[in-house]
Homo-oligomer: A and B are copies of this chain.
Amino acid sequence: MKPAFRLEDHLCFSIYSCSRAIQRMYQPALKKLGITYPQYLVLLVLWENRECSVKQIGALLDLDSGTLTPLLKRMEGKALLQRKRSQVDERMVTVRLTEKGAALKEKTVCIPETLIRSSRMTQAEMQNLNRTIKLLTQQVTQGQMK
């Protein structure tokens, strides 16, 4: 007599659902800055190191060139960054923040704060959850054969 395994018991769904809920919460603030959530993630990467290859960004965000190439072109169109083929290795495209892109940083401080505030969790609880989820991601990724 196996108990029913309902939608709400599926961890995959609660994580999927939570991710979209957070993105919806962030959306108004991001819209004011004229960027989308994945574009915000790219900025987080570039604020840590002003210059990066597409490959490196992809490795950090787990996104491939099929997603990044058009996304970065849109960001270039908004003058947030520049794309330039590397002189050293012409296969590589180097992405580099512009002043405008760098300047956005200070305007985004409020964004993670909305999550911290609305979560009603302590800093320790959030760090704990973050650790747990990252570990789960790692296990899930290792579980793959590829």
Contacts and interface: CB of A to CB of B under 8 A. Distances in A.
Given A6-B48, A19-B19, A44-B7, A12 B112 contact: yes
Contact of A15 (B9, B19, B144): B19
Interface of A: 4-26, 37, 41, 44-45, 48, 60-62, 112, 114-115, 117-121, 126, 129-130, 132-134, 136-137, 139-144
Instruction: List 4 tightest A-B contacts by C-beta distance, closest first.
Output: A118-B143, A18-B137, A19-B19, A14-B133
Main SS class of interface, A:
helix
A139 B112 contact: no
Nearest to A120: B139
A39 B114 CA distance: 31
A43 to B, nearest CB: 10
A22 B15 contact: yes
Nearest to A41: B13
Contacts of A115: 11-12, 140
23 contacts: A6-B44, A6-B48, A7-B41, A7-B45, A7-B60, A11-B115, A11-B130, A12-B19, A12-B23, A12-B115, A14-B134, A14-B137, A15-B19, A15-B22, A17-B61, A18-B140, A21-B140, A22-B140, A24-B144, A115-B140, A118-B143, A119-B139, A129-B136
